[in-house]
Amino acid sequence: MFALDHVVLTVRDIETTCAWYQRVLGMRRVVSENGRVALHFGSQKVNLHPAAAPYSPHAAVVEPGTADLCFLSSRLIEEVVEDLQGEAVAIELGPVRQVGAQGPMDSVYFRDPDGNLIEVASYARRV
């Protein structure tokens, strides 16, 4: 059995990325003992690698803006959309109905500062 522990984003500017993910998605910036920066949320994290000097080992192609990530929210997707609009985040698509690992979900899509496609999805439905 496998589980996902973390993902890595290659970014142009770690501080800009941290500020955006903290403000827009409420993630927590954590610096490890070796000085590497990660964004923590729940029991997961996103490690950040600087594009100018990526840590080894790394993916074969190291470019900012090449990721497509989906984060789950326990909130209704309409509430997520309201928060994104409040932060002046341009929504590219959604809310739309999608199928995730656990079944049908509602999603909204937008971009982070590096152009990565970010999806926030919710399995919560209005009753």
CB 70 within 8 A of CB 119: yes
* Domain presence at residue 34: yes
* Domain presence at residue 104: yes
The catalytic position among 33, 82, 92, 119 is 119
pLDDT in tens, 28-57: 999 999 999 999 999 999 999 999 887 888
| Structural domain harbouring 58 | 6-122
Specify the pTM.
0.94
* Domain presence at residue 64: yes
pLDDT at 127 over 80: no
**Residue 86: per-residue pLDDT:** 97
More confident residue, 125 or 64: 64
* Domain presence at residue 68: yes
pLDDT in tens, 68-99: 999 999 999 999 999 999 999 999 999 999 99
Tokens coding 22:
């903290």
**Residue 59: per-residue pLDDT:** 87
Is residue 108 classed exposed, middle or buried when 0-12, 13-18 and 19+ CB atoms within 10 A define those classes?
Answer: buried
* Domain presence at residue 56: yes
More confident residue, 117 or 125: 117
Domain total of the chain: 1
* Domain presence at residue 79: yes
* Domain presence at residue 127: no
The CA–CA distances, whole Å, from 55 to 10, 42, 45 equal 10, 24, 17
Task: Report the mean per-residue pLDDT for the chain.
Answer: 95
Whether 119 is catalytic: yes
* Domain presence at residue 105: yes
The CATH number of the domain where 34 resides is what?
A: 3.10.180.10
Average pLDDT of the residues in 101-126: 95
